[in-house]
Amino acid sequence: MPFGFGGSKKMLYDVRQRPQAVYFKDKVFIGFKGGGSAPADGGRESVAPTHAMLLSYDPTNRQFSTPVKFGKTTSDHHDCPVIWADKDEFLHFLYKCHNKPGIHLVAKQPGGMGEADSDWITLPDIAPMVSYPTVFRLHDDRELVYFRTGGHSSSWSYRITSDQGRSWTGPENDVTNLDIYNHPEWSSYQAKILSPDRKTLYVVFTDYDDVKSNDPERLYNPKYDMPVRNDWKYNLSLLKIDLVTHEVRNDNDEVMKTPLDIETVRAKCQIWDTGWRGAGVPPALCLDEHGEPCALHVLSDEDLETHYYYYVRKVDSKWQKTRITASNHQWNSGYLKSDKQGQLHAYVIVGDGYQDKKGINYTHGGGRIEHWLSKDKGNTWSLHRDITPDSAQYPGWSFNNVQPILRPDGSGIDGMLMFYGWLDAKMPEAVAFLLDESGRQQD
């Protein structure tokens, strides 16, 4: 079901920031970036301003509310919002986060979103600068926001609130700062997930040299025997943050001195040396049947236009990787979940050949959406179905950024997910979609 219109690039974001939808008080509340229109002069979609927006969806009658618009329009796709509910049942809305503090709002009344932005009040800044926020409800009903503290090569850190966003405290040191010491401009993109008891935050991340000068010597990739762009991300590393003591440990439970630099990360925290094979987006994470983190990661292969999805998990103290299927772009962002029967579900973006279409949305991938299934703990995978919207109604469209609908405690809603799609050539405005199968038995 389409629900958001006039969207910008990444009107629903990739795995770097979450959640954008929360199931709360028998409704789904969804934040997105939309309400724009194509420039009158036919210019690029990226200059068509859009709003941070919020609406609700009622699963009982499958109806969407009228969206509420927040603030002024912007053309920065990073301004896409995240949303959550606190322990006192007030909704929070955070947007305009990209190398600035962002705008953090809370609803005036508990249990709902109101009818206009005047039904919300502004709360103090979470931090001086926030990029790619992801929000979690902790074991003691406090909220945590994990984020990048500035530009590409900035540190990553977190803040915790005990008073529903009125004040925030953080660790003594940031978690990572890859470019300190001898490696200026080294950066990372980070994915995160809470442990089942919500006391430990798992962080899995890629690393890359964000050298702004595009120095060909620094960007030389020995696997492909050529300089590559400065946005290719390599390897996977894992950290475990104790949210009671604030200790940061690696996969071997060694306590790490923070902030971690790139040399320490590669020596102590790396779980997969990808051998100069690269990605754009960081992996999608879920917890396996033992409550341990596992990942869905897209990675280049023998050339920079061939990519595959991998299921990455730890088995008997070793990290194993199983190829699932081909991806048509390094920036395709999917969704990974484990169900109550122990089956694994991977929702992936695929296509026929490398995605190299023109248009601002296509710079970050896009294609059809397939649902792959594993019944043997990720050792083998099979195509279960295609969930791409009807091609007769959306001919030539591409889709990306599949993501879940979450409860306030972070658990997912079975049978619901969302994504967005676009057709740049004829209609620059993107459209957001909700898949709701929660009313029927899932196979």
Asked if residue 8 lies in contact with residue 48, where contact means CB atoms within 8 angstroms, the answer is: yes
> Residue 441's pLDDT is what?
43
For the chain, report the end-to-end CA distance as a whole number of angstroms: 21
Question: Which DSSP helix (H) or strand (E) runs through 434?
Answer: strand 427-436
Q: Is residue 75 part of a domain?
A: yes
Listed residue (39, 28, 30, 29) closest to 6, CA to CA: 39
CATH of the domain at 53: 2.130.10.10
| 411 inside domain | yes
Give the 3-state secondary structure of residue 118. helix
CA-nearest of 168, 163, 181, 172 to 130 is 168
The pLDDT assigned to 260 comes to 98
Cβ atoms of 311 and 293 closer than 8 Å: no
Q: How many domains does the chain have?
A: 1
Output the CA–CA distances (angstroms, integers) from residue 241 to 247, 256, 347, 418, in the order listed.
Answer: 6, 10, 28, 29
Q: Quote the CA–CA distance of 228 and 72 in Å, as a whole number.
A: 37
- Give per-10-residue mean pLDDT for the chain (443 aa): 93 97 97 83 61 97 97 92 98 95 97 96 97 98 97 96 97 96 93 98 97 95 97 97 97 98 97 98 96 97 98 96 98 96 96 92 94 97 98 95 97 96 80 91 40
User: What is the SS3 assignment for 115?
Assistant: coil
d(CA 164, CA 181): 37
Determine the structural domain holding residue 6 and report its residue range.
Answer: 2-436
Is residue 16 a part of any domain in this protein?
A: yes
Amino acid at residue number 247: E
Indicate whether 441 belongs to any domain. no
Residue type at position 250: N
